[in-house]
Amino acid sequence: MFTHSMRRFFYDPVHETADCVLISGAEAHHLRAVLRMRLGETAELFDGSGRILSGQIEQISPDSVTFRILARRQEPESRSPLTLALAFLKGKKMDMVVQKATELGVHRFLPLVTRYCEPQGKDHQLLDRWQRIMLEACKQCGRPVPMQLSQPLPFQEVAWPADSRKIIAWENETTCSLAALGLEAGNPVVLLIGPEGGFHPTEVEHAKTCGFNTISLGPRILRAETAALTAVVLAQQAVGNLEP
Ligand code: SAM
């Protein structure tokens, strides 16, 4: 019933009844006018909470599509939620990281303002754009629970969660790797990655006082977006979030 190849759409749970769900707006337009799906075709429907419906198109009207619900299931929450805290990067790099972080199962994305970076637009416009990119990525990769997008914050003002393993990638760390931290399944993790110009030494000190461990991502200086995605993969692997 549920397969990786089925088309996926988001729905608003207020439009769900015991038997049917109605899709409207941009999702209905995409389904009807772009993909030209027909009566009787099937798709998976997400509401963003982890609930997944399998449905069959029962009715198509100019501005909505009605699915008959064939099956329901609930995706379990990740046991080891990963937060990626990333200083603002220039151009379209944040967009790219948002997309890839969604695919890689990052739980929460927290954009930061640090000494050597600047926000690349107004918060609400950036968040709207990232929300669209993130939801598209969810549909494409079959992720039923969207990544949380946090409001951008100045680095010094973040209240870091006490119960998480906190890790800062720092190119001047010469000994400790992420693997050496011994992360385990069930550990919530926060990863902190600097901007193109890196962290100021006082920012690294501040992170340490907040309980962050510095790690190296190897002997080469990676671009910030490469560092972010490398650290995400290593952390997700370590806590078991990349298991089949
Ligand atoms: N400060 C440097 C500079 O201006 O040349 C490099 C900054 S680097 C391009 C951007 C961010 O990626 C860093 O702040 C760090 O978080 C991360 N990073 C890059 N290479 C790294 C490495 N080898 N080990 C750990 N972190 C790294």
Residue ranges, comma separated, of all CATH 3.40.1280.10 domains in the chain are 82-238
pLDDT in tens, 77-87: 777 999 999 99
Ligand 1 contacts CB of residue 132 (under 6 A): no
Mean pLDDT of all residues in 184-212: 97
Question: Does the pLDDT at position 144 exceed 70?
Answer: yes
Mean pLDDT of all residues in 187-207: 97
Question: Does the pLDDT at position 4 exceed 80?
Answer: no
CATH 3.40.1280.10 fits 82-238, yes or no: yes
Query: Which residues, at least 6 apart from 170, have a Cβ–Cβ distance to it below 8 Å?
Result: 194, 199, 204, 214, 215, 216
pLDDT in tens, 45-84: 988 788 889 999 999 999 899 999 999 988 777 779 999 9
pLDDT of residue 3: 52
Question: What percent of the chain lies above the pLDDT cut of 90?
Answer: 77
**Distance from residue 114's CA to the centre of ligand 1 (Å):** 14
Query: Reduced to 3 states, what is the DSSP secondary structure of residue 199?
Result: coil
Third-level CATH fold of 7-74: Ribosomal Protein L25; Chain P (2.40.240)
pLDDT in tens, 130-143: 999 999 999 899 88
Ligand 1 contacts CB of residue 171 (under 6 A): yes
pLDDT of residue 1: 45
151 phi, psi to nearest 5 deg: -60, 135
Q: Which band of pLDDT confidence, cut at 50, 70 and 90, is reported for residue 5?
A: low
Ligand 1 contacts CB of residue 92 (under 6 A): no
The residue whose two tokens read 């609400």 is 124
Give bridge partners of residue 86 from the DSSP assignment.
111, 193
At position 241, the amino acid (one-letter code) is N
Do 64 and 23 touch, CB atoms closer than 8 A? yes
Question: Does the pLDDT at position 2 exceed 70?
Answer: no
Gap between the Cα atoms of 191 and 74, Å rounded: 28
Ligand 1 contacts CB of residue 121 (under 6 A): no
Higher pLDDT, 92 or 121: 92
Q: What average pLDDT is seen over the chain?
A: 93
Among 5-14, 61-70, 82-91, 148-157, the range scoring the smallest mean pLDDT is 5-14
What is the enclosing helix (H) or strand (E) of 191?
strand 189-193
Residue ranges, comma separated, of all CATH 2.40.240.20 domains in the chain are 7-74
Query: Reduced to 3 states, what is the DSSP secondary structure of residue 149?
Result: strand
Ligand 1 contacts CB of residue 169 (under 6 A): yes
Pairing of strands 64-74, 82-87: unpaired
Q: Round to the nearest angstrom and report the end-to-end CA distance of the chain.
A: 19
* Pocket mutation for ligand 1, best pick of 196, 204, 222, 225 (most atoms within 8 Å of C-beta): 222
Question: What percent of the chain lies above the pLDDT cut of 70?
Answer: 98
Other C-beta atoms closer than 10 Å to the C-beta of 9 total: 23
pLDDT of residue 123: 85
Q: 164: closest CA among 183, 148, 178?
A: 183
Among 27-36, 75-84, 184-193, the range scoring the smallest mean pLDDT is 75-84
DSSP 28-92: HHIIIIIS---TT-EEEEE-SSSEEEEEEEEEEETTEEEEEEEEEEEPPPPSS-EEEEEE--STT
The residue whose two tokens read 């929300």 is 131
